Amino acid sequence: RSIGLPIFIRYITPTNPLWMAFGSSIVRLARRYNLATSNFSRFYLFGWDANERYHMHAELGDAFTLVSPGGNWIYVAEPKACWDILKRPRDFGRNLEQLKVLDVYGKNLSTTEGHEWQKHRKITAVTFTERNNELVWSSSLEQGQGMLRYWLERSPQPIRSVADDCKTFTLNVLAASLFSKPYPFEGQEEMKARHTSIENPSDDDSHQYRDSFSRILRGIILIAIFGGETLKTSSWMPKSWNQVGQAVQDFRSYVMTMIDEEREAVRHNRSTRKDLVSALVRASLAQKNEACISEQDIISNTFVYGFAGNDTTAITLAHTIMNLAAHPETQDWIREEIWDHCHDDTWPYATWSKLVRCQAVVMESLRLTHPLGSSSKLTKTTTTLTVNNTTYTLPPNSNVQVNFCGLHTNTNAWGTRAMDWDPARFIDANGQLRAFPEGVYVPWSHGERICPGKRFSQVELAAVLAVLFRGHGVEVVNEEGEGEEEARRRAERVSLDIQMSLLNEMWKPERVGLRWEEVE
């Protein structure tokens, strides 16, 4: 109360581990049987803030404090205040305690701050270059073709695995961009068939990276609690937990092999790779002070690129496809542009920046459904924050959330139709991407901790949309007794229904069947 912001009381701490594990199922069950009060239904789900978007702020104000038995969280959704927070990393720092789960292979770009972070930033500056983005572009085109082929082969069956297939797509693009490893696209059904035909999937070298990495992503909380070694060797643990431990070791040895191969190639002047690990290896060999970039630095940062770059992009793509299926007129709109710029067989890398409508649909998806939901900050000392011309004093160790979902649907900035799907809002009168006032639209964050993979993901998503929609379209398959329009509105609702696991994802995306067809 001494801060002076409006207060909202929640009787269960958002980070309560038991509630994180079971709370959302309880809320959804209570909703289903009409047992949930309005408050319980709105605010007790894991990922409630992503579902609320600006509604809660419209009731309480552009900033408020969520008060719970285990701590307080300040939510901010006002552009200038958010901009201010993102530009002051010394005052609004990282919540390093919360990020420890990402230290599977040691400290990295995401889990450090101050001098330590600057060291990692310097090391990794060599990685996200245009040279690498060219690789992202070509591998996204290739993987996109594989994914489309897989979906078309199953037609007229409705495809219900779009969200999972998008994760395979991004994992494969990362394999190409991190290690120059090409993998053919493999859809959900194909993957299940392979897993049942191999006794121990981690014995299968060709899928070592992809299988171990996706297993680590799913088991990251277990790894944080027990550590990889204990998980691998404990006989009392379930086999699936042992496999998570094994995956930690597999991924490390996989990256080590990639590092060794590239070192040899560089030493013999044979290196032609454009991938991120190769860039790190070359930088480490070129350094005067050998202790500067260690093997551990390369492994831990490679891991965090994969962690930060995989599901974020896959979730965004799944939402984009779902919304496009609900809006055939937007498909026509982007197809027009794709036809303008992608006519020959080979599409050069420079094409990506011309696909502004494709970028706009991605931006609209991120606006309505952000995979991170918010950027979590922790005040380091007593500090001030001005929201709508009132200055508040925040004590040290206050949790402050830059609430992307609230900010990007703030009706003061986005108007009364803030909740409508309308990608054209991102295009200006000259047909170019619109520039926004400070803090209005920051899905990749801003300031020194801005997402280093921003361009990577923009290139990847523009490429895959061009491949998918150039000669094909997607439609929502009607359920029994449902009309076309109803089916589309259902797809829109499913896209907006979020549940948080590690990130904010569509809840049960398989509720919507999609069908791909060739267009004239």
Cβ pair 91, 381 in contact under 8 A = yes
| Residue 398 makes contact with ligand HEM by CB under 6 A | no
| Residue 308 makes contact with ligand HEM by CB under 6 A | yes
Query: Is there a cis peptide before residue 395, judged by omega within 30 degrees of 0?
Result: no
Q: Please identify which residue in 144, 245, 373, 453 interacts with ligand HEM, judged by CB under 6 A.
A: 453
Q: Please identify which residue in 351, 399, 457, 495 interacts with ligand HEM, judged by CB under 6 A.
A: 457
Q: Please identify which residue in 51, 133, 143, 312 interacts with ligand HEM, judged by CB under 6 A.
A: 312
| Cα–Cα distances in angstroms (integers) from residue 510 to residues 155, 158, 249, 490, in the given order | 16, 10, 33, 12
| Residue 316 makes contact with ligand HEM by CB under 6 A | yes
State in angstroms the smallest separation of the CB of 366 from ligand HEM. 6
Q: Which residue do the tokens 């994760």 mark?
A: 167
Tell me the two tokens of residue 360: 């706009």
| Cα–Cα distances in angstroms (integers) from residue 308 to residues 63, 173, 279, 378, in the given order | 27, 14, 19, 20
| Residue 304 makes contact with ligand HEM by CB under 6 A | yes
| Residue 456 makes contact with ligand HEM by CB under 6 A | yes
Phi-psi region of 431 (alpha: psi -120 to 50; beta: other; left: phi over 0): left
| Cα–Cα distances in angstroms (integers) from residue 138 to residues 185, 291, 455, in the given order | 14, 35, 14
| Residue 439 makes contact with ligand HEM by CB under 6 A | no
Q: Please identify which residue in 24, 375, 379, 409 interacts with ligand HEM, judged by CB under 6 A.
A: 375
CA distance 312 to 359: 16
User: Alpha helices of 380-483 — where are they, by DSSP H?
Assistant: 404-407, 411-414, 454-470
State in angstroms the smallest separation of the CB of 140 from ligand HEM. 11
What is the amino acid identity at position 182? Answer: P
Window of 224-232, 239-247, 249-257, 447-455 that interacts with ligand HEM by CB under 6 A: 447-455
Q: Please identify which residue in 372, 385, 467, 476 interacts with ligand HEM, judged by CB under 6 A.
A: 372
Q: Which is nearer to ligand HEM, 44 or 352 (CB)?
A: 352
State in angstroms the smallest separation of the CB of 233 from ligand HEM. 30
| Cα–Cα nearest to 311, from 465, 149, 174, 206 | 174
State in angstroms the smallest separation of the CB of 295 from ligand HEM. 19
State in angstroms the smallest separation of the CB of 377 from ligand HEM. 8
Instruction: Give me the residue whose beta carbon is nearest to ligand HEM.
Output: 453
Q: Is 405 annotated as a binding residue?
A: no
Which residues does 480 contact at the CB level (< 8 Å), separation at least 6?
none
| Residue 444 makes contact with ligand HEM by CB under 6 A | yes
State in angstroms the smallest separation of the CB of 114 from ligand HEM. 12
State in angstroms the smallest separation of the CB of 100 from ligand HEM. 14
State in angstroms the smallest separation of the CB of 104 from ligand HEM. 14
| Cα–Cα distances in angstroms (integers) from residue 88 to residues 63, 385, 448, in the given order | 18, 11, 9
Window of 38-46, 52-60, 235-243, 305-313 that interacts with ligand HEM by CB under 6 A: 305-313
State in angstroms the smallest separation of the CB of 91 from ligand HEM. 14
| Residue 455 makes contact with ligand HEM by CB under 6 A | no
Residue 157 DSSP label: S
Instruction: Work out whether strand 383-387 and strand 390-394 pair parallel, antiparallel, or are unpaired.
Output: antiparallel
Tell me the two tokens of residue 386: 């001005």
Tell me the two tokens of residue 218: 């799913």
Q: Please identify which residue in 214, 313, 320, 379 interacts with ligand HEM, judged by CB under 6 A.
A: 313
Q: Give 165-183 as a DSSP string.
A: HHHHHHHHHHHHHHH----
Cβ count near 70 (within 10 Å) = 10
CA distance 211 to 171: 10
Q: Please identify which residue in 79, 309, 373, 473 interacts with ligand HEM, judged by CB under 6 A.
A: 309
| Residue 110 makes contact with ligand HEM by CB under 6 A | yes
Q: Please identify which residue in 27, 36, 82, 109 interacts with ligand HEM, judged by CB under 6 A.
A: 109
Q: Where do contacts with ligand HEM occur on this chain (CB under 6 A)?
A: 109-110, 304-305, 308-309, 312-313, 316, 366, 371-372, 375-376, 443-445, 449, 451-453, 456-457
What residues are designated binding site for heme?
A: 451
